[in-house]
Chain A
């Protein structure tokens, strides 16, 4: 991961929210699925060309009482896992 990287949803991937508990991401090209919990779904919805610090900062504004370090670790792990599985696209900012 490059520190400057920004992230987008893979436009091929569909997301089936199953409120309130999370959702299912489906990559039709690879025919693979990922089950995500509520936090994962929140991160997914914020993936529109943002960097990890930007996503973390938005989430800190949404939820009370979360530790920034723990959140950053979770967001980074989630995003890198889904980049690896081609559900999320990573790019350099323009």
Chain B
């Protein structure tokens, strides 16, 4: 060990060099030191190690952080040795510093490394038209009074994305398969050197569509095609998505899977299907053979707002959804995912409980500031009429129109994006409605979409992510860790 006999590998406190900028580049993270011009590509666990170096962490703390994030068979000693070697490398290259004493204030974890030049990805709503009228489509209000951009406008826009080296677009609507020029659009996306994903209700996919999907480079550039399935049978699915939609969606799903395409499923949990989740999982995983599916909850936005009384979950149903989804997570390990909705909330609330009880904040997400909203560090959205928005969940937040405003300029300079990127520095104690809440140190306020749509204000907490409100409505988080 360096430093003489007295010091050990574990004697030092490690700190990220404050001048280093980090950005995500696909599966890698790139550290850049503007003082030396040096850069370094590190993988996800390397980034977790770097991020854990907050001035108050020693190697053994970093090992504990890593063990909390990743399951590994590697022994603690080996992990310690690996991290030590990696730290020495970062130190020699000027990306970190170390000290024998901890810093008085820990650095907050980096949450969303920002791609400074231009977005990496786009969510594109290619059409506002849809053949269904789903009861909770958050895009529904957008369809009224806005017209779809013509092919040529999208092609012009894709040329701009090519010049910016954007990597990925997610195509949605409305229903994308309603556009008769969809294949021209997809070929232009491929020509513009991008990959793509499709979100669809699955009802317009036929054998002819399949022939189109598998032609040329289209299947190789496709990351995923997502079909919405909201129940295990037509009686349940069709209640929220319309008569006849279940059988068509299921047929498409099976057809795409048989063709070997990267098909995935999203289940939107709502009042009609909350008691049917177990059957839905059985259908999708055991009968159809998917490796899993994603979940979300119906939200009080768009059509979901008009149907709030009949579609969005009641407090008791949220508990029921949490119980069932956590049980299914155990039954199908790695098979049930959620970025939002009951399952995601259960994990978040449980992390908050754990942090409060132990005094150790989560290293997986930043607690105590309005920090949950991260996409605008990586991507933008465009509505079917060409309006640029920070995210599909912020449908009214206009950043300009494509082919009129330069994306690079919007990305680097738009005041609303700057305000949104700055949210993460706002302490929860400063957020309207949060003062005096005991959960302030452990909360991050959730997605601003619902409250922005309701009030026009960005710096507010999402009522669905408010643990205090959840406790008031339900009595608290159910203890479901041991259930199957």
- Chain A residues within CB distance 8 Å of chain B: 12-18, 20-22, 24, 26, 28-29, 31-33, 35, 37
Contact = CB atoms under 8 A, between A and B. Distances in A.
Nearest to A18: B117
B164 interface: yes
Contact of A14 (B27, B32, B165): B165
Contact of A21 (B32, B118, B193): B32
How many residues of B sit at the interface, in one of the four size bands? 20 to 34
Given A16-B117, A33-B26, A28 B195 contact: yes
Nearest to B163: A14
Contacts of B193: 12-14, 26, 28
B165 A24 contact: yes
Question: Does more than half of chain A's interface fall in helix, strand or loop, or is it mixed?
Answer: strand
Contact of A28 (B28, B39, B41, B194): B194
Contacts of B183: none
Nearest to A33: B26
Interface of B: 25-28, 30, 32, 37, 39, 41, 116-118, 162, 164-167, 190, 193-195, 217, 220-221, 223
Given A14-B165, A32-B26, A35-B30, 4 more contacts: A24-B25, A28-B167, A28-B193, A33-B25
B41 A26 contact: no
Contacts of B41: 35
Nearest to A15: B165
Contacts of B39: 21-22, 35, 37
Given A14-B193, A29-B220, A21 B28 contact: no
Given A31-B195, A35-B39, A26 B217 contact: no
B216 to A, nearest CB: 11
A31 B39 CA distance: 21
Contacts of B26: 26, 31-33
Contacts of A21: 32, 37, 39
Given A14-B193, A21-B39, A33-B25, A26 B30 contact: no
A29 B223 CA distance: 10
A22 B37 CA distance: 9
A14 B167 CA distance: 8
B290 to A, nearest CB: 21
A35 B42 CA distance: 11
Nearest to A28: B195
Contacts of B167: 14, 26, 28
A28 B221 contact: yes
A35 B25 contact: yes
A60 B71 CA distance: 50
A29 B221 contact: yes
Contacts of B194: 14, 28
Contacts of B28: 33, 35
B195 A16 contact: no
Contacts of A16: 117-118, 164-165
Nearest to A23: B165
A35 B24 CA distance: 12
Contacts of A17: 117
B365 to A, nearest CB: 25
A33 B26 CA distance: 7
Nearest to A34: B41
Nearest first, the 9 A-B pairs at minimum CB distance are A16-B165, A14-B165, A14-B193, A33-B26, A28-B195, A35-B41, A33-B25, A28-B193, A26-B167
Residue with the greatest number of chain B CB neighbours at <10 A, chosen from A21, A28, A32: A28
Contacts of B32: 21
A16 B115 CA distance: 11
Nearest to A21: B37
Residue with the greatest number of chain A CB neighbours at <10 A, chosen from B116, B164, B165: B165
Contacts of B30: 24, 35
A15 B27 CA distance: 17
A37 B32 CA distance: 11
